[in-house]
């Protein structure tokens, strides 16, 4: 009974957003129907919700209702090693913070790569975020959003997905009905998985996305530090030196690649923080400063 009550309370609290919409209105590209593969919300021992087995990607919409002029919007990709989604502290909580600071937010519940429901699991999440970006840009006037100020934000494996659309936004991974750009205007990457290089990657994310025996060609394709170009959007990066899950070299290599192509970038490396600190609201160490630094960066960049 207690477990049911916790689930109900989490579901109720999650509806602080105005609306939830499906990413795909028609058939999901490259999908395989498996009736036994169903979405689950599982709670940890600390009653923290984790979403598994996503089959129908959605966007939770948090509009900046107080904004008079068209607002900046950010699509958020929660982390979870491409096996689950931490949609609370890396989704809902971030959206409320963005709303408080005059920005609209969209939490993407993306499909987690699985050969049970995808013909090519390596591109499944990229398909979802490309379509999500097009949906937000296409509805910019309706939602009072500036179509030239739509960014992407990702945490951990969600950071890999965010950096993937930042570097693969022009890749045709499905047939887009509308000629709307999927390029983010900026990206914010928090303790992100960037590389599929086995010496620095997060093995779980790599194996879930590409498979345990991924080819060198596929590994390079999704090592996003190798895919940066002059069209990659400006980027704000945050990482902790003591991150034992996703080595800090992921952010460092991406920042250096951005520098090499003269893409505006800012990298903050903190001594402490570990992995998965979210907004670090209860932390007494310096990684708790990243939200304020991020707001300043967005303001300086004109977003």
Residue closest to 226 by CA, chosen among 250, 199, 203, 191 = 250
Half-sphere exposure of 111 (CA within 13 A, CB side): 32
Rounded to the nearest 10 degrees, the angle between the axes of helix 157-168 and helix 124-138 is 70
Query: CA-CA distance, 169 to 188, in Å (whole number)?
Result: 16
- Token reading at 2: 């207690």
Q: How many CB atoms are closer than 10 A to CB 211?
A: 14
3-state SS, residue 49 = strand
Write phi, then psi, for 93 (nearest 5 degrees).
-65, -40
At residue 256, the 3 state secondary structure works out as helix
19-22 and 58-62 strand pairing: antiparallel
Non-local CB neighbours of 298 within 8 Å, separated by 6+ positions: 72, 186, 236
Q: Where does the pLDDT of residue 16 fall: very low under 50, low under 70, confident under 90, or very high at 90 and above?
A: low
Domains of the chain: 2-300 (3.40.50.1820)
CA nearest to 14, candidates 91, 97, 129: 91
Rounded Cα distance, 283 and 31, in Å: 42
Grouping H, G, I as helix, E, B as strand and the rest as coil, residue 9 is helix
Instruction: Read off the pLDDT of residues 124-162 as tens digits, 9 standing for 90 and up.
Output: 999 999 999 999 999 999 999 999 999 999 999 999 999
pLDDT digit string (tens) for 162-202?
A: 999 999 999 999 999 888 999 999 999 999 999 999 999 99
Quickly tell me which residue has 């916790």 as its tokens: 6
**Residue 238, strand partner residues:** 190, 268
Q: For the chain, how many residues are written? A: 303
Distance from CA of residue 101 to its chain's centroid? 19
Q: Is the pTM of this model over 0.75?
A: yes
8-17, 202-211, 243-252 — which is least confidently predicted?
Answer: 8-17
């Amino acid at each position: 009974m207690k477990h049911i009550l916790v689930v109900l309370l989490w579901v109720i609290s999650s509806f602080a957003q105005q609306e939830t919409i499906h990413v795909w209105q028609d058939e999901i590209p490259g999908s395989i129907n498996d009736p036994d593969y169903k979405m689950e919300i599982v709670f940890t021992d600390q009653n923290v919700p984790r979403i598994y087995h996503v089959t129908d990607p959605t966007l939770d919409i948090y509009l900046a209702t107080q904004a008079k002029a068209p607002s900046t919007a950010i699509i958020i990709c929660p982390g979870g090693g491409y096996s689950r989604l931490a949609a609370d502290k890396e989704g809902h909580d971030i959206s409320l913070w963005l709303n408080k600071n005059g920005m609209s937010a969209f939490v993407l519940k993306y499909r987690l790569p699985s050969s049970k429901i995808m013909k090519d699991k390596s591109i499944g999440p990229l398909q979802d975020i490309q379509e999500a970006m097009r949906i937000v840009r296409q509805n910019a006037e309706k939602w009072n959003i500036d179509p030239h100020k739509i960014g992407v934000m990702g945490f951990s494996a969600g950071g890999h997905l965010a950096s993937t659309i930042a570097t693969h936004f022009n890749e045709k991974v499905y047939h887009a009905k509308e000629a709307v750009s999927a390029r983010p205007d900026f990206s914010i990457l928090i303790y992100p998985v960037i590389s599929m290089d086995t010496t620095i990657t997060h093995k779980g994310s790599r194996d879930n996305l590409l498979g345990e025996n991924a080819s060198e060609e596929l590994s390079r394709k999704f090592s996003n530090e190798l895919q940066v170009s002059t069209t990659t959007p400006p980027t704000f990066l945050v990482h902790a030196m003591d991150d034992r899950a996703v080595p800090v070299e992921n952010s460092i290599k991406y920042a250096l690649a951005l520098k090499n192509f003269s893409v505006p970038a800012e990298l903050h490396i903190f001594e402490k923080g570990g992995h998965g600190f979210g907004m670090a609201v209860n932390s007494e160490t310096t990684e708790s400063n990243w939200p304020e630094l991020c707001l300043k960066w967005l303001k300086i960049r004109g977003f």
